[in-house]
Chains A and B, each alone.
Chain A
Amino acid sequence: MKVQTAFVLAAAALVVLALAPLFIPDYWTGVLLGMTGYVTLATAWAMFSGPTRYVSLATVAFFGVGAYTVAVLNEAMPYPLVLLCAAGIGMALALVVGLSTLRLAGVYFVIFTFGLAELVRQLVSWWEVNVTYTMGRYVFLPFEGRHIYWQLLALAAVTLLISWAIGRSRLGLALKAVGDDETVAAHAGVDVTRIKLLLFVISATIITLVGAIQAPRWTYIEPSIVFNPTVSFMTLIMALLGGAMRLWGPLVGAVPLFLLFEWLSVSFPDHFSIILGLLFILIVFVMPNGVLARLEDLRKGGRA
């Protein structure tokens, strides 16, 4: 019963959000677009990194690959096919990366994923310089902000659905076991590597698609634009703020943080970075497990 109610509510929220661009000014559509992008990124990131506790900084590697795929292919084939290609390339890349690295653990994994983003960026640059002799590609697709927003919204809904389904399945249970203790999980019969790989691939494919969908918004794509490491850090901090272990955690983190960034850049354009740094410190000290966990703690404390 409760699940049904939640689904009805979520569907209603989705409809309201989808209709919103028809009534609000373009700027707010832009804000919703950016927000939905980060909600999707953070949810996809948490899908893998939350339960397994493997902190990945490779978000922008996949995001950028998605955007670049669109830049390269947008004139060669119809748009839906381009998106499919982007998803395919993201999936293949995640498989290669996952197979070769998911045996790494802890800080080694963090460092590797950070390096991966830079590696992919340099590879793309090298390819463009030495093979195609172009730097900077144009994406002329007839999309306005709201078209991109609708695509992102659909992707966000699908991502949350996938995340929910995983949480309820045996896979989710296995994942939790892996997160708690990999060795114990392996002894209990969980195929640790396979599960990690599967989750990593799903998460990376969604992230690739976010990049692909957002690319037409910038018209002009070059490595320094799409492989901007800030994307990785923002995703991470948003997921952590909300709580990476929960279904709605990344959303609860991404929405207020995104609005806060927007407000900061409007009101304090010259002090943005300083205020941002202070905020991060505050989040880590006050709510290390995320807003949702903190709320729960407070409520339990109140009852007791």
Chain B
Amino acid sequence: MKHSIAEAARAARRLTTCATAAVLAVMVGTSGLEAQERDKVTIGYAVSKSGPNAGGADMTVTPNYELWVEEVNAAGGLKLPDGSQLPIEVIAYDDRSSAEEVVRAVERLATQDEVDFILPPWGTGFNLAVAPLMAKFGYPHLAGAAVTDKASDFVKRWDSSFWFMGGSADYVNALTEILIAEREAGRINDKIAMISVADGFGIDLVKAARPSFEGAGFDVSYDKTFPPGTSDFATILNEADNSGADSFVAFSYPPHTFGLTKQAKVASYNPPVFYLGVGAGFPVYPKIAGGSVEGVMSLGGIDPDNELNAAYRAKHEDVVGRAPDYWGSVLIYASLQMLGQAVERVGLDKAAVAGELSTGTFSTVLGAETRLENNQLRAINWVGQWQDGQFVAVSAQGGDGMAAVKLPKPGWE
């Protein structure tokens, strides 16, 4: 025993020496960099390239980061107030879908790499995990892929944080408005069958949906939560059918969204309102559903007459090799455009950029006058519907860049 302690003490001494040497080397390294003339802007991010979050990050976040950087650099770099341009250099890490990794990666970007700006990770949880650090180091935090009802509280807590995807209540209330209008038009009854996945997104939305539906006088006649691993939806759809509801609402993740669609076709379950969760707004959805998905509703949607958005979609397909999804992608891309324009107006000072982001008006893919309200993007399309092969933003009556919802949903082909 004594022997091993002494041995380990020796090992510890050696380790301490190594650690000190490493720290010294790093310090020397960074001080050498600072002396150089600025010839680029460094932008860092940590997203999930592996692990359970990789799918979502690779659909909504990473392609847009890459697209934007490529575009900016192709145009000569990021513009500065004095008219000069600096190319963007990217430092990208993989957080391996681990909260501790993403926190440390942001610390590394801020204090080791000393990047000029940090782009956020994917997901509500990870954006919240890095939010205190972004605020502490003074970086504007453009929380893109994060749905939260507490954005206003977070803005109070971290005043350089910006929230681009709205909250659960926003999505649900927009759906409720459509349902109310349909009920008044006599096209649906007052019963709703609602299912939700027992995971972050599903629980958050269903929690907002119950009071919203019931407050509007609907009767949630079927309310079921299923575990994330569920793949067989035959029983659930059967029970939903038997509940006598004209509206079917599922707060689901992509695998369930696809499974529900296939099962509904097999069972010829075709309620007037068929609303699904994440995945129904993916460009591949019609292919996965195997034919027409006319009338299927979900979160998001685009304005097909918006040329800026159409150009963005074409470019995304061109550079990334596939089309962006119809919900989050365009919001993330718009947030990057805003960052670029803020830098062009006020330079690279982080606090000035944050100030410009909260008060300025920007020209983005969302429109020529995009601005934030209380550090939150509110001009979001909450409900979308597949109409003529496009997933378009809809509201009860249409207008304001949105189409009128077409219900009841036609039969499956």
Residues of B close to A270: CB separation below 8 A: 49, 94
- Does A179 sit within 8 A of B, measured CB to CB? no
- Chain B's closest residue to A273 (CB) is B50
In the bound complex, what is the Cα–Cα distance between A76 and B128 (angstroms)?
21
- Chain A's closest residue to B148 (CB) is A136
Contact A252 to B203, CB < 8 A, known contacts A26-B107, A129-B225: no
Asked if A246 and B128 sit within 8 Å, CB to CB, the answer is no
Q: Mark B191-210, 1 if CB is under 8 A from A, else 0.
A: 00000001110111001000
Contact A218 to B8, CB < 8 A, known contacts A265-B93, A265-B94: no
- Does A224 sit within 8 A of B, measured CB to CB? yes
Residues of B close to A122: CB separation below 8 A: 227
Asked if A134 and B225 sit within 8 Å, CB to CB, the answer is no
Contact A220 to B107, CB < 8 A, known contacts A6-B5, A6-B6, A125-B198: no
- Chain B's closest residue to A272 (CB) is B94
- Does B131 sit within 8 A of A, measured CB to CB? yes
Chain A contributes a number of interface residues (CB within 8 A of B) equal to 58
Chain B contributes a number of interface residues (CB within 8 A of A) equal to 53
- Chain B's closest residue to A31 (CB) is B104
Asked if B92 and A9 sit within 8 Å, CB to CB, the answer is no
Contact A248 to B200, CB < 8 A, known contacts A13-B16, A134-B207, A217-B100: no
User: Using a CB-CB cutoff of 8 Å, which residues 113-147 of chain A contact chain B?
Assistant: 122, 125-126, 128-130, 133-136, 138, 140, 144-145
In the bound complex, what is the Cα–Cα distance between A228 and B111 (angstroms)?
27
CB distance from A134 to the nearest CB of B (A): 7
CB distance from A233 to the nearest CB of B (A): 12
Contact A30 to B103, CB < 8 A, known contacts A25-B111, A255-B15, A272-B96: yes
Residues of B close to A31: CB separation below 8 A: 104
Asked if B110 and A26 sit within 8 Å, CB to CB, the answer is yes
Asked if A27 and B200 sit within 8 Å, CB to CB, the answer is no
- Does B241 sit within 8 A of A, measured CB to CB? no
Asked if B125 and A269 sit within 8 Å, CB to CB, the answer is no
In the bound complex, what is the Cα–Cα distance between A252 and B15 (angstroms)?
9
- Chain B's closest residue to A269 (CB) is B94
In the bound complex, what is the Cα–Cα distance between A6 and B9 (angstroms)?
6
In the bound complex, what is the Cα–Cα distance between A168 and B5 (angstroms)?
12
- Chain A's closest residue to B157 (CB) is A140
Contact A136 to B101, CB < 8 A, known contacts A247-B8, A273-B50: no
Contact A135 to B199, CB < 8 A, known contacts A5-B6, A27-B110, A248-B4: yes
Contact A246 to B104, CB < 8 A, known contacts A9-B9, A135-B204, A136-B124: no
Looking at chain A's contact residues, the main secondary structure is: helix
In the bound complex, what is the Cα–Cα distance between A24 and B125 (angstroms)?
28
Asked if B2 and A214 sit within 8 Å, CB to CB, the answer is no
Asked if B11 and A248 sit within 8 Å, CB to CB, the answer is yes
Residues of B close to A136: CB separation below 8 A: 124-125, 200, 203-204
Contact A248 to B100, CB < 8 A, known contacts A25-B112, A26-B110, A27-B112: no
Asked if A220 and B52 sit within 8 Å, CB to CB, the answer is no
User: Using a CB-CB cutoff of 8 Å, which residues 1-29 of chain B contact chain A?
Assistant: 1-9, 11-13, 15-16, 23, 26
User: Using a CB-CB cutoff of 8 Å, which residues 253-286 of chain A contact chain B?
Assistant: 255, 262, 265-266, 269-270, 272-273
Scoring B5, B136, B198, B199 by chain A CB atoms within 10 A of each residue's CB, the highest score goes to B5
Q: Mark A233-253, 1 if CB is under 8 A from B, else 0.
A: 000000000000011100110
User: Using a CB-CB cutoff of 8 Å, which residues 221-268 of chain B contact chain A?
Assistant: 225, 227
**B98 interface neighbour in A144, A228, A246, Cβ under 8 Å:** A228
Q: Mark A188-229, 1 if CB is under 8 A from B, else 0.
A: 000000000000000000000000001001111010111010
Residues of A close to B49: CB separation below 8 A: 269-270
Residues of A close to B103: CB separation below 8 A: 30, 217-218
- Does B40 sit within 8 A of A, measured CB to CB? no
Asked if B104 and A220 sit within 8 Å, CB to CB, the answer is no
In the bound complex, what is the Cα–Cα distance between A179 and B89 (angstroms)?
55
CB distance from B12 to the nearest CB of A (A): 5
- Does B319 sit within 8 A of A, measured CB to CB? no
Asked if B125 and A138 sit within 8 Å, CB to CB, the answer is no
- Does B129 sit within 8 A of A, measured CB to CB? yes
Q: Mark A24-59, 1 if CB is under 8 A from B, else 0.
A: 111110110010000000000000000000000000
CB distance from A121 to the nearest CB of B (A): 11
In the bound complex, what is the Cα–Cα distance between A130 and B206 (angstroms)?
12
Residues of A close to B124: CB separation below 8 A: 136, 220
- Does A77 sit within 8 A of B, measured CB to CB? no
- Does A92 sit within 8 A of B, measured CB to CB? no
In the bound complex, what is the Cα–Cα distance between A265 and B92 (angstroms)?
10
User: Using a CB-CB cutoff of 8 Å, which residues 5-20 of chain A contact chain B?
Assistant: 5-6, 9-10, 13, 16
- Does B187 sit within 8 A of A, measured CB to CB? no
Residues of B close to A273: CB separation below 8 A: 50, 96
In the bound complex, what is the Cα–Cα distance between A248 and B3 (angstroms)?
11
Residues of B close to A10: CB separation below 8 A: 9, 12
- Does A167 sit within 8 A of B, measured CB to CB? yes
In the bound complex, what is the Cα–Cα distance between A30 and B13 (angstroms)?
21
**A248 interface neighbour in B8, B105, B207, Cβ under 8 Å:** B8
In the bound complex, what is the Cα–Cα distance between A293 and B4 (angstroms)?
11
Residues of B close to A187: CB separation below 8 A: none
Q: Mark B102-121, 1 if CB is under 8 A from A, else 0.
A: 01110110111000000000
Contact A24 to B23, CB < 8 A, known contacts A16-B16, A34-B100: yes
Contact A126 to B198, CB < 8 A, known contacts A9-B13, A218-B129, A252-B8: yes
- Does A2 sit within 8 A of B, measured CB to CB? yes
- Does B99 sit within 8 A of A, measured CB to CB? yes
- Does B304 sit within 8 A of A, measured CB to CB? no
In the bound complex, what is the Cα–Cα distance between A235 and B225 (angstroms)?
34
CB distance from A39 to the nearest CB of B (A): 11
Asked if A26 and B111 sit within 8 Å, CB to CB, the answer is yes
Between-chain CB contacts (< 8 Å), 9 pairs: A34-B104, A125-B227, A129-B198, A217-B129, A222-B200, A226-B99, A228-B99, A248-B8, A265-B101
Taking Cβ atoms with an 8 Å cutoff, the residues of A that contact B are 2-3, 5-6, 9-10, 13, 16, 24-28, 30-31, 34, 122, 125-126, 128-130, 133-136, 138, 140, 144-145, 164, 167-168, 214, 217-220, 222, 224-226, 228, 230, 246-248, 251-252, 255, 262, 265-266, 269-270, 272-273, 292
- Shortest 5 CB-CB contacts between residues of A and residues of B: A248-B8, A135-B203, A220-B128, A6-B5, A27-B111
Query: Knowing that A135-B200, A273-B96 are A-B contacts, what are 12 other residue pairs whose CB atoms are under 8 Å apart, sorted by A's residue number?
Result: A5-B6, A9-B12, A13-B16, A27-B108, A125-B227, A128-B203, A220-B129, A247-B5, A262-B104, A269-B92, A270-B94, A273-B50
